[in-house]
Structure 1
């Protein structure tokens, strides 16, 4: 039986190779996974042209996934460095990489990335439009925007962030209800500017069916971008954000009618006490579609440490229903991240995702922690390092400060409670002088 997309296959009762692989990874019955895809509650972003892909699922009942942003800009245009970052991100078990390149040989970089990456690849075509077309923003036509989207789809991009939900009505609301940080979404601000400069409707909203045609043809998952996401905690959960979310819910249903897979993007910056409510609103207004969040960052005063502010918010968001975390690095708001920034961001996001998976009862999540606890009780440092989320750093710390006895560390020494309790429970004597 033929099918066009993973969702189309699921609705027809077909179990695809991608579904089988994801079900195995997730310890889920493949028929259950298929049903969740048919309902739109799980997506498997898998462009038909991405042949190196090791597919992953995003959504209800699955492990929380993380995404890594990279790509060149006019100020930092080292393609080799960005490819090195991509390889490192894959080594660190990131499930997705978003190429946010906006300058130079963007297609060359994108194709190289897709050729070797087993991680799913996402892009924001709006970023690429100005550079690729070499035109002023106001002079780009609607047809040219769609040409950029089609080129990304042909190259094998698995999911695209497209800001379809910011229309002229929402733009007017933003102007009437002043925000502290206005629009902080780069793609959203570009579309807002295009609409204002041309006094025309957002082409991705106005010609949404045309976008769905392309997504259906290549099985590209739409990540419905949140142009009105809050860029500071003061702007969170305001009228503009919620109005756009309602529109995204309507667009989700239209995509599902065409068997196009959908994710919803969310905040942003947000106080701790608003996170759970926002996750509930998204799931309700967008009919259970997978939710992809940037952070949320829970305070605005920690530049240089925003991988931590993001991990705090991300853990709470995922525990309350978010399915996909976009990493944030220590360089957020300051500069393009380097390799070490990227690593710190990935590890922080993976910790947040895993903490949420424990809270959500994802199969296998607690087993990892229990294995680490057993190694600690056994005072087995090699095993602890092997099980660490970042074995390299754990090993470096261990080797940097040698204890008197190998089965202790330099904090507790012979007073190590794990070592002493192990001896006592085995009926052995103690010598802690």
Structure 2
């Protein structure tokens, strides 16, 4: 007697397995019935990746601190160098690169220092393209606050005669008081460079200083002159006043000229023959702006060393992130096993921990960029410089943190993905 099949023994379609068609029993049909793991969207990846960060905030802060220090060091080094260079270029733009200075050289035959002719200023002023001319003449006297101070205590300050057009040629300005003019230049009046005034302890005009056996009244104090540091350390007296009161011989020792930008090369080639037609080789022509350009070009020469130190700090921070992620894997074995048992694949576990490492490094990178930019801003404000942080430094620093985060999270992620679900749940 044959037993009848109950409805429960039949297939969902009401047919027994023996009644199914060959298409129903094919491998493709059976494989379509298997379960496939769901995919994680970007939002899901960020959610599971930030779960470990949200649950351990103190550890996150300490781990990100190493990354932040490394990035802050690199940003600050590049930013401070860029700010200093921008300040130098600003000074070059303001002061110009069209000034030349003529000074006496040494005779090729006697080896003695030659002198420039008294008419050198007028002759250079007649060269085509020259706009302004000024000159100084060194006087063998010392400047002191009073006659009671020994003569050998000069403080590194020189006494020089100066023409009226000198300040305009240098594109300088008077910080306080007035510059020498046709009237004051004939009397015992003196204008101090700002370094000379500081060394003499004079802050305002009206004081008197002792020069050549008599007192001279300070009528002005100059502002800084980056292109003429020798003027900053000088006590300047009018050309005629120096002849009258200090026995100045009238021969200039430095002749400054300003020309149009287009005629700088031509004027440079004509200055020496104009000043000394017989022996032009005895006249030295220099460009003061070369010093600033060289300084701007060499700005950041030690940046490589400092950036290397910042890179080491960044690597140490990366090791800290890797260590934090390994500890996190060990502490969260139960979570990993539970997720695997609920269908999470090894790839999803790897993505979770790599994402967590990336987010941890990114937080440190953002904090480092903020700290480095703030340090550059403070330095620029103190030095009265333009605040400059190159975008390539910010982008490169943040990119470095992402690379460090990826490398630091690979091993912990692989280790987490290899955990057996059953062993992880049993160990927990």
Higher relative contact order (CA 8 A, sep 6+): 2
Is the TM value for this pair above 0.5?
Answer: no
Structure whose CA Rg is larger: 2
Q: Which structure carries more strand by proportion?
A: 2
| TM-score bin (small chain) | under 0.3
> Normalised by the size of structure 2, how large is the TM-score?
0.25
> Normalised by the size of structure 1, how large is the TM-score?
0.24
